[in-house]
């Protein structure tokens, strides 16, 4: 049985601000004991009853993942858990080591790159609902996620935790996630705010970004999470901006987040992200976690009263150096968070490891898989006539839910790709496995152990020879490789060394292609990789980190049970120098300065500006059927400034099987007075069509979608003129366009 916290609060419900259970009044003002009372009234009532010491105590951690409440008033402590792909196992009070619980396993949901690749807001809602239920059942108050930092460079080790390179896509996908999680009485903590786009020197580098780039590229997803999703907490980033650490940054926390956006929730520091008491007091931080006892910077255990927002803050308040007005604002924000979560007696009970959650994980994973190439229609594989299928590659057998940093999980169950393939092919086809290469044989993180024995005695060449021999004698070959969650791959706290695949996988794939033309390459990763063998493989799938049901989801797509409908949420460049940050020398892992020289030209924006052909474009993804587009229609081609524009297009499934298509809308400003991208994503719609079925897809283009950020004016500007609406299947596959004019 899971231990329940805050039993007093549960029993008393909302009536927790009375001493000895008596109804009282203070200065003839009613005491708000009823949960139906306005939130702000309840917050003010609680605040008025707290001592100075109690106020400070709720502003910093009391353990690795909890902050204190006010026992005297029945205000419960606040418990956080790492996400955003599953609920982290319990650790000891003051250590990262496992607490040894036997009931803290979870369902691992696909990485957020996979969710973004669904291009389906409904899938985001399913994801948020399911992970929110797991967090609620485990009595967690704050889920540390989702992450919406923009994919600036394919070397960032933490890209797999985020939602791609485009601010519009990330904005639309994050909102349903936030809303559905919080319906469970669990707060999201949207992270890492902001400009946290590399892991190398993440505690030291100062991001130098112009205001236009900041507001057009790096802030929109956070803004949507706060203003549309209603996020209850936000996590500051480790790095610096304008010379200040982002866990206490005047411009972004006080100016933008709390000022411009009206955020009324709490800002939580990343673990070990606080560095100065004075800045933490004045520059927007509300709850401090991880300082000194975080295992990163080391110190004596249980030093929570020495945190920057603990005894040093209390001393500043007592001496008059710090303002009680600022203190009360912080405490109000923390109380709102507690009332919305730990003190919410009407939240649902949640559920853990339910069949519905596994079904959700499988559906999201399969819908996010991207079919990059299908030459000669090597996919789907027909199991009724497949004969012998060779499965090759370490990633076919390696568990991927353990490792990678704070998103590492202790799962109840993980179906590997080989297990999923074997289950689907049972009694229909012969499946034979060869390893092909050796990557990471370890399988542990923070005390969670996979139990897999991946030791290998064969040499690299012998592994290749054995794989080629199997491929030569098989009817089809499925190579499953890519990256893993080891350091310098898809992993927190380190960036990749390059764009290429590790462990000599290119050599293995090329050898397999020569041995058998019916080769399908499956990549498991959260990042783009180089593919010098792309012309040799018949089929290529990007399968991401698929979570607990990754193997079953992959088998569903490989064998045609599910028609792939995923689209890339970021560009796969042909070479690293085709990425803007790298082309301009603006990614330097040795520097303390990260200068975003590419400005607004991130991802496909840069590729189109420089007219470079990517390996696979943003928004690209094939299907087992074909979709035909009609002509785009704009009902009113001339509209007044401030009016909406409607763009419609008919899309037909011209193939023989049912499928889903993501219809994408991009807008280009034809005669802007400032430099703007060729086009930018401003709408997408995922539709399901039976063979021969036609559906009309309609987009509404609002004035805000046409604006650019004017740094000199400090705001958004819509210029009259002519715009082009581009409609297609990817950023590089535009099927139709129509022009309209803003008067």
| 110-140: pLDDT as tens digits | 999 999 999 999 999 999 999 999 999 999 9
What's the pLDDT tens digit per position in 630-640?
999 998 888 88
- Alpha-helix runs per DSSP H in 290-323: 311-319
φ, ψ of residue 255 in degrees (nearest 5): -75, -55
Q: How do beta strands 266-268 and 233-236 pair?
A: parallel
Q: Has residue 284 been placed in a domain?
A: yes
b (16+ CB within 10 A) / e for 165-179: bbbbbbbbbbbbbbb
* Whole-Å CA distances, 526 to 157, 158, 174, 418, 538: 9, 8, 18, 20, 22
Which stretch of DSSP H or E encloses residue 733? Answer: strand 733-742
Same domain for 504 and 392, yes or no, is yes
Q: Inform me whether the pLDDT recorded for 681 exceeds 70.
A: yes
pLDDT category of residue 13 using cuts at 50, 70 and 90: very low
Of 635, 560, 573, the residue nearest 605 (C-alpha) = 573
Share of the chain above pLDDT 90, in %: 91
Of 187, 190, 173, the residue nearest 126 (C-alpha) = 173
- Is residue 270 part of the annotated active site? The answer reads yes
Which stretch of DSSP H or E encloses residue 169? Answer: helix 167-182
pLDDT category of residue 97 using cuts at 50, 70 and 90: confident
Same domain for 312 and 262, yes or no, is yes
Query: How high is the pLDDT of residue 530?
Result: 98
Among residues 289, 323, 340, which one ends one of the domains? 340
Of 128, 142, 229, 122, the residue nearest 185 (C-alpha) = 142
Of 160, 107, 145, the residue nearest 357 (C-alpha) = 107
Question: 729: alpha, beta or left, given left = phi > 0 and alpha = psi -120 to 50?
Answer: alpha
Q: Inform me whether the pLDDT recorded for 228 exceeds 70.
A: yes
Q: Inform me whether the pLDDT recorded for 353 exceeds 70.
A: yes
Beta strands in 597-705 (DSSP E): 627-629, 633-634, 638-639, 645-653, 659-669, 680-689, 694-701
- CATH number of the domain to which 100 belongs: 3.20.20.300
Same domain for 611 and 472, yes or no, is no
Same domain for 405 and 288, yes or no, is no
Q: Has residue 352 been placed in a domain?
A: no
Of 578, 391, 582, the residue nearest 479 (C-alpha) = 391
Q: Has residue 249 been placed in a domain?
A: yes
Same domain for 468 and 588, yes or no, is no
What whole-number distance in Å separates Cα of residue 184 and Cα of residue 338? Answer: 14
Determine which one of 45, 166, 270, 578 is catalytic. Answer: 270
Query: How high is the pLDDT of residue 293?
Result: 61
Structure tokens at 503: 């462990």
> In sequence order, what are the residues at sequence separation of 6 or more whose Cβ sits closer than 8 angstroms to the Cβ of residue 575?
499, 530
Which stretch of DSSP H or E encloses residue 739? Answer: strand 733-742
Angle (deg, nearest 10), helices 220-227 and 167-182: 30
pLDDT category of residue 291 using cuts at 50, 70 and 90: confident
Per the listing, tokens 């009817």 go with 475
| Average pLDDT for 704-730 | 96
Instruction: Look at residue 497 and give its three-state secondary structure.
Output: coil
pLDDT category of residue 376 using cuts at 50, 70 and 90: very high
Per the listing, tokens 């150096």 go with 321
Same domain for 170 and 209, yes or no, is yes
Q: Has residue 360 been placed in a domain?
A: no
* Whole-Å CA distances, 220 to 217, 223, 258, 500, 705: 7, 5, 15, 31, 12
What total of structural domains would you count in the chain?
4
**Is residue 654 packed enough to be buried (19+ CB in 10 Å), middle (13-18) or exposed (0-12)?**
middle
Query: How high is the pLDDT of residue 19?
Result: 33
Same domain for 46 and 61, yes or no, is yes
pTM of the model: 0.95
The answer to whether the peptide bond before residue 146 is cis (omega within 30 degrees of 0) is: yes
Q: Has residue 351 been placed in a domain?
A: no
More confident residue, 83 or 171: 171
Cα atoms found within 13 Å of the Cα of residue 372, Cβ hemisphere only: 28
Same domain for 133 and 106, yes or no, is yes
Same domain for 548 and 636, yes or no, is no
C-alpha 370 chain-centroid distance? 17
pLDDT category of residue 63 using cuts at 50, 70 and 90: very high
Per the listing, tokens 């490789």 go with 481
Which stretch of DSSP H or E encloses residue 42? Answer: helix 39-49
Q: How many CB atoms lie within 10 A of CB 652?
A: 17
pLDDT category of residue 421 using cuts at 50, 70 and 90: very high
| Average pLDDT for 524-545 | 98
φ, ψ of residue 90 in degrees (nearest 5): -70, 140
Length of the chain: 743
Instruction: Look at residue 365 and give its three-state secondary structure.
Output: helix
Q: Are the C-beta atoms of 662 and 121 separated by less than 8 Å?
A: no
Per the listing, tokens 């109000």 go with 332
* Whole-Å CA distances, 626 to 652, 658, 729: 8, 10, 11
Mean pLDDT taken over the chain = 94
What whole-number distance in Å separates Cα of residue 323 and Cα of residue 313? Answer: 10
Q: Inform me whether the pLDDT recorded for 298 exceeds 90.
A: no
Query: How high is the pLDDT of residue 96?
Result: 86
DSSP label at residue 106: B
Q: Are the C-beta atoms of 681 and 665 separated by less than 8 Å?
A: yes
Q: How many CB atoms lie within 10 A of CB 271?
A: 24
Radius of gyration of the chain (CA): 26
What whole-number distance in Å separates Cα of residue 617 and Cα of residue 365? Answer: 21
Annotate 403-426 with DSSP letters as a single string: -SSTT---BS----HHHHHHHHHT
Q: Inform me whether the pLDDT recorded for 33 exceeds 80.
A: no
Share of the chain above pLDDT 70, in %: 94
Q: Has residue 350 been placed in a domain?
A: no
* Whole-Å CA distances, 440 to 273, 508, 519: 30, 16, 24
What's the pLDDT tens digit per position in 600-650?
999 999 999 999 999 999 999 999 999 999 999 998 888 888 899 999 999
Beta strands in 483-610 (DSSP E): 519-524, 539-542, 593-595
Same domain for 471 and 536, yes or no, is yes
Q: How many CB atoms lie within 10 A of CB 332?
A: 18
Q: Inform me whether the pLDDT recorded for 653 exceeds 50.
A: yes
Q: Has residue 160 been placed in a domain?
A: yes
Among residues 325, 340, 355, which one ends one of the domains? 340
Query: How high is the pLDDT of residue 299?
Result: 57
Q: Inform me whether the pLDDT recorded for 93 exceeds 50.
A: yes
Among residues 579, 597, 619, which one ends one of the domains? 619
- CATH number of the domain to which 511 belongs: 3.40.50.1700
Query: How high is the pLDDT of residue 300?
Result: 60
| Average pLDDT for 205-215 | 98
What whole-number distance in Å separates Cα of residue 501 and Cα of residue 235? Answer: 32
- Work out whether the CA dihedral 464, 470, 472, 476 comes out positive or negative: negative
Q: Has residue 303 been placed in a domain?
A: yes
Same domain for 397 and 316, yes or no, is no
Angle (deg, nearest 10), helices 550-558 and 355-368: 50
- CATH number of the domain to which 723 belongs: 2.60.40.10
pLDDT category of residue 591 using cuts at 50, 70 and 90: very high
- Alpha-helix runs per DSSP H in 183-323: 211-213, 220-227, 277-282, 311-319
| Average pLDDT for 205-232 | 98
Same domain for 249 and 311, yes or no, is yes
* Whole-Å CA distances, 725 to 55, 614, 728: 53, 22, 10
DSSP label at residue 371: E
Query: How high is the pLDDT of residue 15?
Result: 37
Q: Which domain holds residue 611?
A: 571-619
Query: How high is the pLDDT of residue 119?
Result: 99
What's the pLDDT tens digit per position in 432-467?
999 999 999 999 998 899 999 999 999 999 999 999
What's the pLDDT tens digit per position in 480-527?
999 999 999 999 999 999 999 999 999 999 999 999 999 999 999 999
């Amino acid at each position: 049985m899971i231990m329940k916290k805050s039993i007093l609060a549960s029993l008393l419900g909302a009536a927790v601000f009375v001493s000895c259970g008596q109804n009282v009044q203070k200065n003839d003002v009613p005491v708000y004991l009823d949960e139906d009372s306005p939130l702000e009234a309840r917050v003010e009532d609680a605040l008025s009853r707290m001592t100075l010491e109690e106020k400070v105590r709720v502003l910093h951690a009391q353990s690795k993942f909890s902050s204190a409440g006010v026992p005297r008033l029945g205000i419960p402590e606040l418990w956080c858990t790492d996400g955003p792909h599953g609920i982290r196992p319990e650790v000891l009070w003051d250590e990262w080591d496992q607490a040894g619980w036997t009931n803290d396993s979870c369902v691992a949901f696909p990485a957020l790159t996979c969710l973004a690749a669904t291009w389906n807001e409904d899938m985001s809602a399913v994801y948020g609902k399911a992970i929110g239920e797991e967090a609620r059942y485990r009595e967690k108050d704050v889920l540390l996620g989702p992450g919406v930092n923009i994919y600036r460079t394919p070397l960032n080790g933490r890209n797999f935790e985020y939602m791609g390179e485009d601010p519009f896509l990330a904005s639309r996908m994050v909102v349903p996630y936030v809303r559905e999680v919080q319906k469970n009485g669990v707060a999201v903590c949207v992270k890492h705010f902001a400009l946290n786009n590399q892991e190398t020197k993440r505690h030291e580098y100062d991001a130098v970004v112009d205001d236009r780039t900041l507001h057009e590229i790096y802030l929109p997803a956070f803004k949507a999470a706060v203003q549309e999703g209603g996020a209850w907490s936000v996590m500051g980033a480790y790095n610096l901006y304008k010379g200040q650490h982002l866990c206490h940054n005047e411009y972004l926390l006080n100016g933008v987040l709390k000022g411009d956006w009206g955020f009324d929730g709490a800002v939580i520091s990343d673990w070990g992200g606080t560095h100065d008491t004075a800045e933490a007091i004045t520059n927007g931080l509300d709850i401090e976690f991880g300082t000194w006892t975080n295992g990163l910077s080391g110190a004596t255990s249980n030093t929570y009263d020495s945190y920057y927002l603990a005894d040093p803050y209390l001393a500043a308040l007592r001496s008059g150096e710090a303002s009680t007005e600022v203190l009360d604002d912080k405490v109000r924000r923390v109380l709102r968070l507690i009332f919305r979560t730990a003190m919410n007696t009407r939240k649902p009970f949640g559920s853990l490891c339910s069949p519905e959650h596994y079904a959700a994980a499988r559906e999201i994973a399969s819908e996010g898989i991207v079919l990059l190439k299908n030459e000669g229609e090597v996919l789907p594989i027909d199991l009724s006539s497949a004969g012998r299928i060779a499965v090759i590659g370490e990633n076919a057998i390696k568990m991927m839910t353990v490792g990678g940093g704070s998103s590492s999980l202790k799962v109840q169950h993980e179906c590997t790709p080989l297990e999923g393939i074997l289950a689907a092919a049972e009694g229909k086809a012969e499946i034979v496995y060869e390893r092909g290469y050796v990557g990471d044989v370890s399988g542990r993180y923070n005390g969670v152990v996979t139990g897999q024995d991946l030791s290998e005695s064969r040499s690299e060449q012998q592994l290749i020879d054995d794989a080629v021999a199997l491929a030569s004698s098989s009817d089809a070959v499925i190579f499953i490789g890519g990256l893993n969650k080891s350091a310098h791959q898809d992993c927190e706290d380190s960036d990749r060394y390059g764009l290429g695949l590790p462990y000599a996988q290119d050599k293995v794939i090329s050898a397999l292609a020569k041995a058998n033309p019916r080769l399908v390459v499956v990549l498991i990763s959260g990042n783009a990789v180089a593919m010098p063998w792309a012309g040799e493989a018949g089929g290529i799938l990007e399968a991401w980190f698929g979570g607990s049901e990754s193997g079953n989801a992959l088998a569903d797509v490989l064998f045609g049970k599910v028609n792939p409908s995923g689209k890339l949420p970021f560009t796969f460049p042909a070479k690293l120098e085709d990425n803007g940050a790298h082309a301009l020398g603006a990614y330097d892992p040795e520097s303390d300065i990260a200068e975003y020289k590419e400005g607004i030209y991130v991802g496909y924006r840069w590729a189109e500006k420089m007219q470079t052909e990517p390996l696979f474009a943003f928004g690209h993804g094939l299907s087992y059927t074909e979709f035909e587009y009609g002509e785009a229609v704009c009902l009113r081609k001339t509209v007044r400034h401030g009016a909406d524009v409607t763009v419609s297009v008919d899309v037909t499934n011209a193939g023989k099987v049912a499928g889903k298509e993501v219809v994408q809308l991009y807008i280009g400003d034809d005669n802007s007075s400032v430099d703007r991208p060729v086009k930018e994503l401003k709408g997408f719609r995922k539709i399901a069509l039976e063979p021969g079925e036609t559906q009309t897809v309609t987009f509404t283009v609002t004035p805000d979608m046409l604006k650019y950020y004017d740094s000199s004016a400090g705001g958004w500007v819509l210029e009259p003129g002519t715009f082009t609406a581009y409609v297609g299947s990817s950023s590089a596959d535009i099927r139709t366009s129509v022009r309209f004019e803003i008067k």
